[in-house]
């Protein structure tokens, strides 16, 4: 990441999500206990940043063969809330029946949700357990319902998941030189 806030700073993170200490972070940058980088904005100055990501796509065979144990700091990505409808675990076991690796289980859940549920912006899900209501009653919702359902379904199978929201880059403004 290259951040311009009056000066330039470069922050590098390697593919194992561990910080490298070859650069000096500005006062506004901090790493938390999970090695996530946070920027605290000061004042109302515009912050301009650039991110370069590795967007290579691994081979399916490598993903299917991956049996790497999760590092200790991944336990939070496998946690399930205390109040959780057990039907979701049973339902996911049915969907992933016969799948022997994390990748194939994830693809099975993804395909099931894509093929058997509808997309809507109408918020009709409710009750004490909205995820269960989405999966067993309403069977339609917006992207957050789908991502939450898939994440929690996979967690019931011991597969580490997290939900990441973001935005596309938008349109480039040639005059201002920004998106």
Count Cβ atoms within 10 A of the Cβ of residue 150 and give its class: 0-12 exposed, 13-18 middle, 19 or more buried. Answer: buried
Give exposure, 64-98, as e/b (b: 16+ Cβ within 10 Å): eeeeeeeeeeeeeeeeeeeeebeebbebbeebbee
C-alpha to C-alpha distance for 28 and 45, rounded to whole angstroms: 13
C-alpha to C-alpha distance for 21 and 30, rounded to whole angstroms: 12
- Whether the full predicted model's pTM is greater than 0.95, yes or no, is no
Q: Which of 142, 135, 144 is nearest to 121 (CA)?
A: 142
Classify residue 157 by its DSSP letter: T
Structure tokens at 172: 């480039």
Per the rule left: phi > 0, alpha: psi between -120 and 50, beta: everything else, 63 is: alpha
Give the model's pLDDT for residue 135: 96
Backbone angles phi, psi at 165, to 5 degrees: -100, 150
E strand or H helix that includes residue 96: none
Give the model's pLDDT for residue 44: 72
C-alpha to C-alpha distance for 100 and 114, rounded to whole angstroms: 21
C-alpha to C-alpha distance for 155 and 134, rounded to whole angstroms: 17
Give the model's pLDDT for residue 179: 61
As a residue count, the chain comes to 179
Give exposure, 119-143, as e/b (b: 16+ Cβ within 10 Å): eeeeeebeeebebbbbbeebeebee
Encode the chain (179 residues) as per-residue pLDDT tens digits: 444 443 434 444 444 444 444 445 566 667 666 666 666 777 777 766 666 777 889 999 999 999 999 988 889 999 999 999 999 999 999 999 999 999 999 999 999 999 999 999 888 888 889 999 999 999 999 989 999 999 999 999 999 999 887 666 667 777 877 66
């Amino acid at each position: 990441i290259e951040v311009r806030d009056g000066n330039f700073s470069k922050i590098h993170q390697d593919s194992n999500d561990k910080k490298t200490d070859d650069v000096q972070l500005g006062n506004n940058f901090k790493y938390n206990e999970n090695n996530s980088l946070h920027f605290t904005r000061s004042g109302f100055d515009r912050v301009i940043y650039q991110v370069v990501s590795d967007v290579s796509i691994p081979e399916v065979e490598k993903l299917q063969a991956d049996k790497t144990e999760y590092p200790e700091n991944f336990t939070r990505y496998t946690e399930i809330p205390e109040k959780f409808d057990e039907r979701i675990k049973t339902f996911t076991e049915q969907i992933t029946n016969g799948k022997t690796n994390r990748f194939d289980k994830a693809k099975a859940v993804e395909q099931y949700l894509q093929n058997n549920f509808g997309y809507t912006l109408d918020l009709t899900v409710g009750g004490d357990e909205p995820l269960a209501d989405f999966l067993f009653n309403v069977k339609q919702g917006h992207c957050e319902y789908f991502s939450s359902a898939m994440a929690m379904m996979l967690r019931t199978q011991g597969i580490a998941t997290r939900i990441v929201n973001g935005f596309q880059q938008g349109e480039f403004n040639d005059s201002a030189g920004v998106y």
